[in-house]
């Protein structure tokens, strides 16, 4: 079981990041290797390794991730043109860090995923 990730260190302010939002449930910050002009990661403050580990008790946290995504999209002025939200799960799903996280991508016309 993973005990710490780079995201855990960002949440605790051990590693610097461009944090756009933080509360008791989630933290949102700019990706350091953006795939679009706007690329923000939204992560739960508790370490949940992947989507398969989400439980009923986490519903408030994951609901908050979506409301924070909408709030940041509006702050970044991409809410009307549109944006993409992505959550990857495990190796074949493209997950690289074992801490559930949502990608908010926008600022350009995004093409098909597949």
For residues 29 and 114, give the distance between their C-alpha atoms in angstroms, rounded to a whole number: 26
Rounded to 5 degrees, φ, ψ at 104 are -110, 115
Encode pLDDT of 45-100 as tens digits: 999 999 999 999 999 999 999 999 999 999 999 999 999 999 999 999 999 999 99
**Total number of domains constituting the chain:** 1
Query: Is the residue at 42 inside a domain?
Result: yes
With residue 68 as reference, give the H or E element that holds it. Answer: helix 59-75
The tokens for 103 are 């990608």
Q: Does residue 112 belong to any structural domain of this protein?
A: no
pLDDT at 103: 98
Distance CA 44, CA 52 (A): 14
Query: What amino acid positions are annotated as catalytic residues?
Result: 101
Q: Domain range spanning residue 44?
A: 6-106
CATH number reported for the structural domain that contains residue 14 in this entry? 3.30.428.10
């Amino acid at each position: 079981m993973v005990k710490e990730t780079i995201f855990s260190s960002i949440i605790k302010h051990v590693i610097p990041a461009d944090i756009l939002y933080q509360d008791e449930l989630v933290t949102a910050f700019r990706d350091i290797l953006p795939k679009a002009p706007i690329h923000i990661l939204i992560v739960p403050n508790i370490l949940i390794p992947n989507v398969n580990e989400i439980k009923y008790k986490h519903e408030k946290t994951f609901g908050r991730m979506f409301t924070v995504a909408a709030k940041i999209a509006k702050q970044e002025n991409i809410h009307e043109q549109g944006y993409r939200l992505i959550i990857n799960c495990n190796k074949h799903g493209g997950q690289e860090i074992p801490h559930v996280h949502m990608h908010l991508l926008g600022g350009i016309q995004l093409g098909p995923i597949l």
